[in-house]
Each structure stands twice: as C-alpha cells, then as structure tokens.
Amino acid sequence: MDTISNPAFSLSGLIGTAKSICGAASLPADLSATPGARDGGYMPAFVGTVLLLRLQRTASEPTQRYLQALLDARLSPTWRAGASEAAARRGLRSALEGAAGGVLLWEGRQLEASEGLEVASITDSARADVDFDALEAQLDISGALAVHVYDAAHHLFKGADICAAMTLEGIRGETGAFDARLHELGRPYPGQIAAARNVRRIVADSEFTTEDARMEFGGDSGPRCQDAISIRAVPQTHGGGRDALAWFAATLEGSLQQSVASRDMTLDYALDLLAIGLIDLAVISERRSFRMLDSRMSYGLPMNLVAENPGFNHGFPVIQAAAAAVVAEMKLKAPKGRGQGSFSALTGRYVPRGISSSIRLVELMDLLGKVLAIELFMASQAMDLTRRTLPNRAFGAGSAPALAATRTHLPMVLQNRFASDDMNVAEWLIVQGTIVRAVEDAIGRLD
C-alpha cells in the first residue's frame, strides 16, 4: 500500500489528504439506505481520518508509526452518532486499541476494531509501544468534526446554488438578478459575488432563461421584470451563508494551529453563525420549491407539477410539505439569541461547549440535504415539464448535466409513485456529490 504522507496542517491540506485516503464519495448500491449518520449510524470515515492525521502531529515515534499503518490501510476509527463527547472519546480509544466495542470503517464497511486490524494485517506488536492514554487525551474530536463541517457545508452550498439554478430553468426565470455588476459594484460581499457567479455559470447559454422562451411558453402575461425574492435574492442569501462559511474557515484555520487545550471560543461562535446561514439556505430553498406547485407562481407549469392525468395523479404537494416540516426541525436547532456559553455557578469557570456546536452543524447539514433534495426532485420535474412545451431548446451548461445526472437515478414522475423512496434517492444525489460532480465535470469547479 502507498504510504500516505502527512500534509502541512492547513485546512485545505487536511481535507485534500483525508479525501485522498477515504476515496471519492460514491452512491451506495442500495439507494434505499439512509443517507448520513443518523439513527445509530456512525460518523463518516472522513472524520476519523482527519482525527488520525491530527494525532500524528504530536504523537511519539512509535505512535506515529502505528497511526501511519492505520492511514496506509485506509482504516478510520469512528463512533456512533448521537453519542456524548465522553462516549465518543471512549469509542475512539477502543477503535484505536482494537478493543471490544471499537469500530473501524474500511472500504465502506463497519468492522469490529479487532477485525479491522486483522484485515489490514496490523499486528499486536505494532500497537505494543503506543501510549493509548496519551492518544485518547490528544483526540481532537471537535477539530476533526469542524473540518468535516466545513467540507460538507461547502459542498451543500454548491448544491444549493445548483438547485436554485435548476429551479430558475424550470420556471424560465430572469437571469438579470445575477448580473455581476449588481454584486461586484452594488454590494460586493465575496459570498454574494460567488453565489451569483455560480448560478451564471450553471445556466450559461440556457435557451430557457430568456425572454423569448418565456413568451413562447406562454406562462407570463407580459415581459417578466424580475422573479420572486426566493429566486432573485439567491446571491444575497446564499452569499450571506457563504460569508459565514468563509469566516468559519478562517477561524478554523487558526484553531487547527493551536492545541486543543489552548483553543479559545471563537470557533464556537463561528459555528453558531454558520448554523444560522444553513437554516436560511433551507428556508429559501423551501420557498422556491413551494412556488413550483402553483401554476401562477411557476408561470404556467402544471399545478403540483403533475405531468399527466391531473386529479388521478397527485403530484408534489405532500412532498413539498415535507420540506416545510424539515425546515421547522432546523429552526428548532437555531442558536438561541442569548447565552450560548456555559459558566459553572460553582467555579465561575467557562465550560467549553466541546463537540456540541459541531454536532449541531452535522445535524443541520443532514436536514439541509433533505430540503435541497426536495428542491432537486421538484426542479428536475419542472425542467422536464418545461422542456415538453419547448422541446427544441437547450438547458444551461451546468443545469443540463445536473438534470441528466438526476434522471440517471430518479426518473420523471409520470404517475403516482412511492414518494419516500424517490426523496431518499434525491437526498443521496445531493449529499454524496453526484449532482455537484456532474456540474463541475461539465463547467469546472464551482466556488
């Protein structure tokens, strides 16, 4: 096996190296499996790999060799999602020791720790000189989780921009709101500029987001000046979240250079800000998907996006209502407007939040993926319904491959069909990177 060399301890270095070890995310063979680490699932291999890379930084030589052996074998220690930090720490130690109760992830499988070490031919002697007490004390669980949060959130921001662009195509929307000058001159926040640029690139050369397409389709009563706020405020709303993500990344970059013991609370605040941004991303996505249900708001698409035999076939209203429900769940996890810190009444000392801030983000991202999945599902239907009326036109440079990638796994809904399975598939396509990869393979890396 190749020896994986440890990166410089920059955020991008850690992410790049961990991803090269874990391999590219791929769809599972069985798309009825539940995406994400929920319902007793385990934390992703990426998190455990980052943990190992971080541990190498301060480990003694025998321990470094042992950690390297785990990395070379692409074994990743993990713990059960939902566990407390103390339980996570015990679980990780057991995984590293090969002790009972420990779990190692390997090639997409969850293995008993002892079995995992055996599969990788890592013998007892390799562990003999490892100081597992010191290792456990140095576990930077919050740091590893924060790296995972950054990477996964960035991915979801890309997904959100793609979903918004696909909705824009489906409703034959107005691209003027994404004019670079509005953002670069009018309100030049970096995140806003990036979100607008992403959407422009995704719908580039679209023959649907044009005035003559709108006229030919016949759903507008006259020239469309501007779309609803859930569309035209995408740069500002997605951009605000992106700016929160950027500050989080800068803060994390600094935190990773510190020891866990000397780390301050700034990262917790950055996680709070990002949580707000992710919730907003879901709110505006749900508003976009809602508008696609109504012919008046979708500029002439069939009510409820029903393709054939309306009344007999039900369409998407209950699917869309699920997005509203998930958004409500997200709002319950919003940082409260006061007192996030915990101070011991007995000692007066600040009690660190530990992994709770990061875990909240992991949970929010899990829910956001579902809301975006519903928008992807509905926007794909809207695009295909629009194309039925305008069959000789082409979608944009990024939105066409996004639709094609979706249709590979999720056919257009023509008749009543089991919704939950479809929604699950759509979620996989969002969280596992299928749609983002399809777009980036076509038009290059998104911001």
| Residues near other proteins, by CB under 8 A | 174, 176-177, 179, 181-183, 185-189, 191, 222-223, 225-226, 229, 232-233, 235-237, 239-241, 243-244, 247, 251, 262, 264-266, 269, 272-273, 276-277, 280, 335-341, 343, 347-350
Contact criterion met (CB below 8 Å) for 280 and 240 = yes
Q: Please give the Cα distance from 429 to 439 (Å, whole number).
A: 12
Q: How far is the CB of 364 from other proteins (least distance, A)?
A: 14
Instruction: Enter the tokens of residue 68.
Output: 């390297």
> Which helix or strand (DSSP H or E) is residue 231 part of?
helix 229-232
Q: How far is the CB of 233 from other proteins (least distance, A)?
A: 4
Select 33 or 343, whichever has its Cβ closest to other proteins. 343
Select 339 or 391, whichever has its Cβ closest to other proteins. 339
Q: How far is the CB of 310 from other proteins (least distance, A)?
A: 29
Q: How far is the CB of 237 from other proteins (least distance, A)?
A: 5
CB neighbour burial string for 231-269, b if at least 16 within 10 angstroms, e if fewer:
bbbbbbbbbbbbbbbbbbbebbeebbeeebeebeeebbb
Select 231 or 400, whichever has its Cβ closest to other proteins. 231
In sequence order, the 6+-apart residues with CB closer than 8 A to the CB of 339 are none
Q: How far is the CB of 265 from other proteins (least distance, A)?
A: 4
Select 62 or 335, whichever has its Cβ closest to other proteins. 335
Instruction: Enter the tokens of residue 103.
Output: 């779990």
Q: Please give the Cα distance from 315 to 304 (Å, whole number).
A: 5
Q: How far is the CB of 151 from other proteins (least distance, A)?
A: 21
Q: How far is the CB of 271 from other proteins (least distance, A)?
A: 11
Select 76 or 358, whichever has its Cβ closest to other proteins. 358
Q: Please give the Cα distance from 365 to 152 (Å, whole number).
A: 8
Select 75 or 177, whichever has its Cβ closest to other proteins. 177
Distances (CA, A) of 420 to 33, 37, 369, 406: 12, 18, 15, 16
Lookup result for tokens 């519903």: 374
Select 244 or 438, whichever has its Cβ closest to other proteins. 244
Q: Is 269 helix (H, G, I), strand (E, B) or coil?
A: helix
Q: Please give the Cα distance from 49 to 56 (Å, whole number).
A: 11
